[in-house]
Amino acid sequence: MFSSAMDFYQSTDDKHGVAFSLWATAGALRIKGDILKAIDTFKQALRAFRSLKEESSVGYCLCGLGGTSRVAGLFKDSLTYYNKANSLFAGIKDTFGTAYSYCGIGNAYRMFGDYRKALSFFGKASVLYNKMGDRVSYAYTLWSMGTTCKMLGDYNNASHYFKLSQNLFRQTKDPRGLIYCKLGFGEIALLEGKHRTAEKYFRESVVNAKEFGFKVERCHAELLSSCLSGKITAVCYNRLGLKLNYERVPFNLP
């Protein structure tokens, strides 16, 4: 559908339409798991919006690049993109964009292992998302907070945040978000020695990821499943061109 829109906008020389189609396509590629192609397409969209002097759209391309770079394992790039987006959104007083970039900055610090700073930025994002009543984005912030608590060994709070995010993902009918929650619950079960419960969550996650065609989430699910046999494998990430490598639980999933 995005490809058809792109053809139409190109045939009518609609530069704004072409730029928007590139941004939308990049987002779809990211969710699908074609991460390197998504990064390239976000960069094309960024150049197009910069030439049109569309500041807000430039900010959302920077956020897209920040999130996709994180999944690719390019954590330094991710932080740089999100910081640039945050400065831009603050300048034009875009509340949603500011919240989005706060969450992204928090996730970048989380990937660097700076969990306290990560929670600080998640808190800033949460205040703005709640103010706007945005359940879709807030659900992912809650998941990130849960994952941060998991990495800190605070499994009670991790479970609490995963439950809150799961409720929102159910309300917004987000199958991808629900997979992340199952992975979170499963990993906590694994860390607590509840292998049968963990296996159930991981098995369901693999099935759901295959069903919806989520390549990255399938890799996460297969990685966690491999822990049950004691042979951790990250081959799936290599196939997607991602610089992600894990040796032992807990896993700081991007």
Q: Which two tokens stand for residue 9?
A: 């906008």
- Angstrom distance (rounded) from CA 76 to CA 108: 8
Domain boundaries along the sequence of the chain: 135-254
Q: Give the pLDDT band of residue 230 (cuts 50, 70, 90).
A: confident
Q: Mean pLDDT across the stretch 183-210?
A: 98
DSSP conformation letters of 2-63: HHHHHHHHHHTT-HHHHHHHHHHHHHHHHHHT-HHHHHHHHHHHHHHHHHTT-HHHHHHHHH
The pLDDT tens digits for 112-153 are: 999 999 999 999 999 999 999 999 999 999 999 999 999 999
Q: How crowded is residue 148: how many other Cβ atoms within 10 Å of its Cβ?
A: 24
Which class is 135-254 in CATH?
A: mainly alpha
The pLDDT tens digits for 57-110 are: 999 999 999 999 999 999 999 999 999 999 999 999 999 999 999 999 999 999
* pLDDT tops 90 at residue 231: no
* pLDDT tops 90 at residue 234: no
Closest CA to 193 of 222, 152, 228: 228
232 DSSP assignment: -
The pLDDT tens digits for 152-195 are: 999 999 999 999 999 999 999 999 999 999 999 999 999 999 99
